[in-house]
A and B are shown apart, each in its own frame.
Chain A
Amino acid sequence: MATIQEKQQALIQEFELFDEWMDKYNYIIEMGKSLPTLPEDKKNDDLLVPGCQSKVWLHVEKRDNKIVLSADADAIIAKGIVAMLIEVFSDQPAKEVAGAQMKFIEDIGLKDHLSPTRANGLISMVKQIKYYALAFSA
């Protein structure tokens, strides 16, 4: 099983394949499209990540000391971004998630590329995941 570090590295390499940001966005969109949709009854307001311009539902649970994430969004780019977070963090030990260094968002340039309001949404998603991870690893 790849570690959080290795997963981040793999994503960074994936993004390096594209020179154009439109192609990078295309990759994010494809990740969003391939993320399974959450059933309607799971898309309740308690699961909404605050501070996102579009609706992002994030479900965090703990299975055998591991964090398991599922998510959905009404906008596909937001869904692609949350899909990347799932790729990196889901199925990882809670303790590791809580203490993980978030490198890839900066390394792929996404943070600089998002408008401030959208970057806040992304920070908000990461916070939410870490918050649960911390609670679950206590």
Chain B
Amino acid sequence: MAYNVHDIRKQFPILNQEVHGQPLVYLDNAATAQKPLAVINAISDYYLKYNANVHRGVHTLSQRATDAMESVREEVRVHINATEAAEIIFTRGITDSINTIAYGMSNRIHQGQNVVITAMEHHSNIVPWQMLCERTGAELRHIPMDEHGELVINGLEDIVDHNTAIVAFNHISNTLGTINPVEEILSRSREVGAWTLVDGAQSGPHAQVDVQSWDVDFFTLSSHKMYGPTGLGILYGKRERLEAISPYQGGGEMIATVTLEKSTYAGLPHKFEAGTPHVEGIIGFGAALKFLNEIGIESISAHEQNLLEYATEKCSKIEGFRVIGNAKNKASVLSFVVDGIHSYDLGVLLDQQGIAVRTGQHCTQPIMDAFCIQGTVRASFAMYNTFDEIDSFMSALSRAVTMLR
């Protein structure tokens, strides 16, 4: 079936509006994607028909809510090809997922060992590891990046060594769009027995991931970047790894027995799901996954790739336009500066013309430092963006640049 962007757009009513008197062109998808009717309807359906707390009640509504939630766990398992549904943990988001692992490893890591990240991580995949290293005396290392925004992996043997406890890195950079060489890094990590975590924040909506073929220990996704509700993350972990670490949040739902002196933890996945889960979010995410898979991640990413190439070529005609991140393998993100013009100024004038982009550092200050820039403008594409929208973006950008020069 041919990719029909106009049919897809009909599923996203929010796109059909004006901002400052201009048709909205939403190009801030790497920050969050818009939600299709299927997701909005699934959430309201839950509240209209079967809202109840899960896992606790014997009554019918509670059973229905529990079944709905648990069937999403199974759908996520299928989506990333995990071995069993108990390896899928619902978290508050990727930040929460990474903190869960970083905190959980506290007792497994000591001085003399190291943790490896890369030079292009989101703050959420830097700070939890810095905190872990401060607690334990371990060393934090990073895989460097070159001027194109690609990881330099020819020195990997020296960075990932026999003292490496975990290697944690992103699949696709939120700021540069770089698709990282996941399998090379995973393979070196396995050689030395290091644990591995891949941050799939940006890959979720653009790439199909098979955690068993990767043989990765932990993988994490963000619902709201995959057209699902906010406040929900997915943490996949191999059973033996999840069993080896301690939960960092205690409370209801995550225990087997509780006395006033001591509690024992529940089994997977509940051990890591303290408190009432984000039931509406999980149900909405189930609808998002279904929606995504019906259109097909491969068709979506092919469409986005065409948009990215078209936008890059068009914008390059603007004098002083400089792409930040020229990796050979890139997905869906066009980050750029225009020489002599502040990214905030461009952001304001683009917004005036109905164009939503992100400006600033994108929670990746180390990348800005590496490129010696204050910030970038980032246009990021999704399944519903059109070539006409790129044309609008391009002419709005030209107008802004002319005004600001």
Q: Do A and B come from one complex?
A: yes
When the two chains form the complex, which single residue of A25, A53, A78 contacts B349, counting CB atoms closer than 8 Å?
A25
Min CB distance A27 to B, Å, is: 11
By the criterion CB–CB under 8 Å, are A29 and B352 in contact?
Answer: no
Compute how far the CA of A118 lies from the CA of B351 in the bound complex, rounded to whole angstroms: 13
Complex interface: chain B residues within 8 A of A38 (CB): none
Nearest to A24 among chain B residues (CB) is: B352
By the criterion CB–CB under 8 Å, are A54 and B344 in contact?
Answer: yes
* B403 in contact (CB, < 8 A): yes
By the criterion CB–CB under 8 Å, are A75 and B352 in contact?
Answer: no
Min CB distance A21 to B, Å, is: 6
* B318 in contact (CB, < 8 A): no
Min CB distance B98 to A, Å, is: 26
When the two chains form the complex, which single residue of B341, B360, B403 contacts A25, counting CB atoms closer than 8 Å?
B403
Compute how far the CA of A69 lies from the CA of B352 in the bound complex, rounded to whole angstroms: 30
* B342 in contact (CB, < 8 A): yes
A interface, over-half SS: helix
Complex interface: chain B residues within 8 A of A115 (CB): 351
Complex interface: chain A residues within 8 A of B349 (CB): 22, 25
When the two chains form the complex, which single residue of A22, A25, A29, A75 contacts B344, counting CB atoms closer than 8 Å?
A75
By the criterion CB–CB under 8 Å, are A26 and B344 in contact?
Answer: no
When the two chains form the complex, which single residue of B344, B353, B403, B404 contacts A78, counting CB atoms closer than 8 Å?
B344
Compute how far the CA of A75 lies from the CA of B337 in the bound complex, rounded to whole angstroms: 13
Chain A CB within 10 Å — which of B341, B344, B349, B360 has the most? Answer: B344
By the criterion CB–CB under 8 Å, are B342 and A54 in contact?
Answer: yes
By the criterion CB–CB under 8 Å, are B374 and A74 in contact?
Answer: yes
Min CB distance B130 to A, Å, is: 24
Interface residues in chain B, defined as those with a beta carbon under 8 Å from any beta carbon in chain A: 20, 341-342, 344-345, 348-349, 351-353, 360, 374, 399, 403-404
Given A25-B349, A53-B344, A53-B360: 17 more A-B contacts, CB < 8 Å: A21-B20, A22-B349, A22-B352, A22-B399, A22-B403, A25-B348, A25-B403, A26-B403, A29-B403, A54-B342, A74-B342, A75-B345, A76-B342, A76-B345, A76-B404, A77-B345, A78-B344
